[in-house]
Amino acid sequence: MQLRYNYRAYPDASQCRALASAFGCARVVWNDCLRDRKEAHAAGLPYVKSAELSRLRITQAKRTAERAWLADVSAVVLQQSLRDLDTAYKNFFDSLKGKRQGRKTGPPRYKSKKDTRQSIRLNTNAFSLQDDGTVYVAKVGNLKVKWSRRLPAAPTSLTVTKDSSGRYFLSFVVDTEPDILPGVEADAGIDLGLSAFAVLSDGSKIDSPRFLRRAEKKLKRLQRELSRKAKGSKNRAKARIKVARQHARVADRRRDWHHKVSTQIIRDNQAVYVEDLAVSGLGRTRLAKSVHDAGWSAFVGMLEYKAVKHGRTFAKVDRAFPSSQVCSACGFRDGPKPLHVREWTCGKCGTVHDRDHNASRNVLVEGHRIVAAGRAETLNASWSAGKTRAKVPAQRVETGSPRKGQTTQAGIPGLQAREHVNDSGRTGAGHSGVT
């Protein structure tokens, strides 16, 4: 399986300039190629092949006066940009044909200089890890990196990003072997709570920690202050930077905490079932906001990849399944319950239910049923049978040191003695490459 490892990088001034032009060139190639395909499509012409675009928009473009500067950056960056565009198209076509699960994917869009997140992608021809702990990036130089955690194996690709608050990150994709944990007895159904962050079928509740709630509160306050500043004023610009910084801080802390919680749940349980909230489907409801705030989809993603990695069973329970209406004791369907109803008594068997606890127990029962029927998306069986499933996205990985004796050091020079724990620098979204 592929995992993503993220580290903060500290380019010097000239490296920042080199990276800025690499971001720009990658964007121009993307936009040029996208335009060609869009125009061909509008004119009723066939889809323009990558080989043709590569020749026209990279190789030949470098020889023209208006695109000559493409030659200043690594050719790998330009080729990867085109490849990312191909992936974006493939995802779009697969989504149209119904081959892709989850949210519908739109057609690729033009990139703007003003995008908050800029990135380039490199393969091993254009980057390498140096003995002195720096990372060499072609035409940029040796970047200083904070190695918050050891890479378990030689990386196969590298994405360099700059986020909206001006921080640089290196994100390595590493192929890793699953790390199967010893079996345990317990199973867990999880209800994505509104009052608590999550409620487990064993009755335990997980609340957001106080430091996180405080940070979120501060973010809201800064956002309010920003909205009161006059448009175009210097104070507004300052307030915007403050908001961006706090935003990054909240995202980092929330992700760290999600990692801790998801690791614990996967360790403690042989099978984990969650309600598929299909966050996009909740888009317009009041529930949606709290779900987004709680970062639930990122958390569920972590549970999923950790389940795969550690040989646990994981399944999402259909959101059409009425987890809050059915009595988990007798199976009686007691009818819809408005959100403010936190506790109710079953009309048939008289059991008094805590809304969220009851829901999580139903999720557990439904999860068992799905797995028994062989309909689960992720089953450990498919992994032990050696089928590689490309569906599990490369995920950012938690901070802190890896478990002793579980990592290999294949081909990573200079990293053995360079392990620091509890770094807090990572980027925002958890996707790979361009989506």
Binding-site ranges for Zn ion (CB under 5 A): 327, 329-330, 332, 346, 348-349, 351
Closest CB 212 distance from Zn ion, rounded Å: 36
Closest CB 331 distance from Zn ion, rounded Å: 7
Q: Active-site residue 356, yes or no? A: yes
Closest CB 291 distance from Zn ion, rounded Å: 28
Residue 84 or 191: the one with the smaller Cβ distance to Zn ion is 191
> Is residue 426 within 8 Å of 8, Cβ to Cβ?
yes
Closest CB 349 distance from Zn ion, rounded Å: 3
Residue 154 or 329: the one with the smaller Cβ distance to Zn ion is 329
**Residues of the chain by 3-state class (helix, strand, coil), percent to 5:** 40, 15, 45
Q: Active-site residue 177, yes or no? A: no
Q: Active-site residue 275, yes or no? A: yes
Residue 69 or 332: the one with the smaller Cβ distance to Zn ion is 332
Closest CB 354 distance from Zn ion, rounded Å: 14
Q: Which member of 275, 276, 334, 366 is catalytic?
A: 275
Closest CB 329 distance from Zn ion, rounded Å: 5
Residue 330 or 381: the one with the smaller Cβ distance to Zn ion is 330
Closest CB 275 distance from Zn ion, rounded Å: 20
Q: Which member of 84, 163, 187, 191 is catalytic?
A: 191
Q: For residues 46 and 230, what is the distance between their CA atoms, to the nearest angstrom?
A: 50
Q: For residues 103 and 106, what is the distance between their CA atoms, to the nearest angstrom?
A: 9
Residue 67 or 337: the one with the smaller Cβ distance to Zn ion is 337
Residue 78 or 346: the one with the smaller Cβ distance to Zn ion is 346
Residue 238 or 348: the one with the smaller Cβ distance to Zn ion is 348
Please give, one letter per residue, the 3-state secondary structure of the chain.
Answer: CEEEEEEEEECCHHHHHHHHHHHHHHHHHHHHHHHHHHHHHHCCCCCCCHHHHHHHHHHHHHHCHHHHHHHHCCHHHHHHHHHHHHHHHHHHHHHHCCCCCCCCCCCCCCCCCCCCCEEEEEECCCEEECCCCCEEECCCEEEEEECCCCCCCCCCEEEEEECCCCCEEEEEEEECCCCCCCCCCCEEEEEECCCCCEEECCCCEECCCHHHHHHHHHHHHHHHHHHHCCCCCHHHHHHHHHHHHHHHHHHHHHHHHHHHHHHHHHHHCCEEEEECCCHHHHCCCHHHHHHHHHCHHHHHHHHHHHHHHCCCEEEEECCCCCCCCECCCCCCECCCCCCCCCEEECCCCCCEEEHHHHHHHHHHHHHHHHHHCCCCCECHHHHHCCCCCCCCCCCECCCCCCCCCCCCCCCCCCCCCCCCCCCCCCCCCCCCCCC
Residues labelled catalytic: 191, 275, 356
